[in-house]
């Protein structure tokens, strides 16, 4: 194969990896929306859809991992191209885990739907809004090789952490003031933790993107 043909073939495969990783992130974004409906709107059908969505995300992870390793073996990329493939490969686990946490939220929403809510899910709704925007910005960072977008998405995790701390304080107050709320408040504490961890995994994806673009670890 001529050198130019090799470069063109590698470029095509890099574009394919980008497209599939973007697709996986888009499915996680869809799962976040379904988790929101399951929790906030007590929509059990959305919970089921979120669970089904996760099966496809897991399948995509397996296929993409094999594809990336195959590209590295066959094309022997160097420098920034190799960093990209390494960053994409490392991102897959974080993307898949973000999807898992969306499922955890959806399942908890399905369980909580049968009882009157302890409180309005204002802070959790805000976290879900931030995470939707965070994944959208991450997609842009990846698709457009945009360092600024990756840093913008990375910064969003700070608000998620602050909201999670606020949720913890409020729910602990409920439990101390009324022991009858302990069971439900404990479930909501778990939901808050799932949301916080989801944000952490998307944060990790952006750290991988920044390493690809800058060759420096954050």
38-70 pLDDT, tens digit each: 999 999 999 999 999 999 999 999 999 999 999
Q: What is the pLDDT of residue 6?
A: 56
Output phi, psi for 183, to 5 deg: -60, -50
Residues 6 or more apart whose CB falls under 8 angstroms from that of 101 comprise 194, 195, 197, 198, 201
DSSP 8-state secondary structure symbol assigned to residue 144: T
Of all helices (H) and strands (E), which one includes residue 192? helix 182-214
SS3 77: coil
Output phi, psi for 20, to 5 deg: -70, -35
- Tokens representing residue 46 in the block: 């959305």
- Can you say how many angstroms the Cα of residue 193 is from the centroid of all Cα atoms in its chain? 14
What are the pLDDT digits (tens) for 173-216? 999 999 999 999 999 999 999 999 999 999 999 999 999 999 98
What are the pLDDT digits (tens) for 15-27? 999 999 999 999 9
Would you list the DSSP string of 154-191? HHHHHHHHHHHHHHHHHHHHHHHH-GGGHHHHHHHHHH
Rounded Cα distance, 12 and 125, in Å: 39
State the angle between helix axes of 3-40 and 44-75 in degrees (0 to 180), rounded to the nearest 10: 160
Rounded Cα distance, 10 and 81, in Å: 9
The answer on pLDDT for 92 being more than 60 is yes
Output phi, psi for 113, to 5 deg: -65, -25
SS3 193: helix
What are the pLDDT digits (tens) for 111-156? 998 888 888 899 999 999 999 999 999 999 999 999 999 999 999 9
Q: Give the closest residue to 203 by CA, choosing from 118, 112, 119, 137.
A: 137
- Please report which residue ranges of 76-121 form alpha helices under DSSP H: 79-112
- Give mean pLDDT, residues 2-31: 88
DSSP 8-state secondary structure symbol assigned to residue 201: H
pLDDT band with cut points at 50, 70 and 90 for residue 1: very low
Please say whether the structural domain 3-214 has been given the CATH code 1.20.58.220: yes
């Amino acid at each position: 194969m001529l050198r130019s043909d090799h470069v063109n073939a590698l470029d095509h495969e890099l574009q394919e990896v980008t497209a599939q990783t973007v697709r996986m992130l888009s499915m996680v974004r869809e799962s976040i929306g379904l988790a929101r409906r399951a929790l906030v709107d007590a929509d059990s059908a959305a919970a089921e859809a979120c669970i089904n969505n996760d099966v496809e995300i897991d399948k995509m992870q397996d296929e993409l991992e094999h594809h990336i390793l195959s590209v590295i073996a066959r094309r022997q990329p160097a420098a920034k191209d190799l960093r990209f493939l390494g960053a994409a490969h490392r991102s897959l686990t974080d993307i898949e885990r973000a999807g898992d946490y969306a499922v955890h939220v959806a399942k908890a929403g399905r369980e909580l739907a049968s009882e009157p809510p302890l409180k309005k899910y204002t802070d959790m709704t805000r976290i879900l809004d931030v995470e939707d925007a965070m994944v959208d910005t991450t997609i842009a960072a990846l698709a457009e090789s945009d360092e600024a977008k990756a840093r913008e998405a990375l910064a969003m995790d700070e608000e998620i952490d602050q909201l999670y701390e606020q949720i913890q304080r409020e729910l602990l107050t409920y439990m101390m003031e009324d022991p009858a709320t302990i069971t439900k408040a404990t479930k909501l504490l778990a939901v808050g933790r799932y949301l916080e961890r989801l944000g952490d995994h998307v944060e990790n994806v952006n750290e991988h993107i920044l390493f690809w673009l800058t060759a420096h670890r954050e």
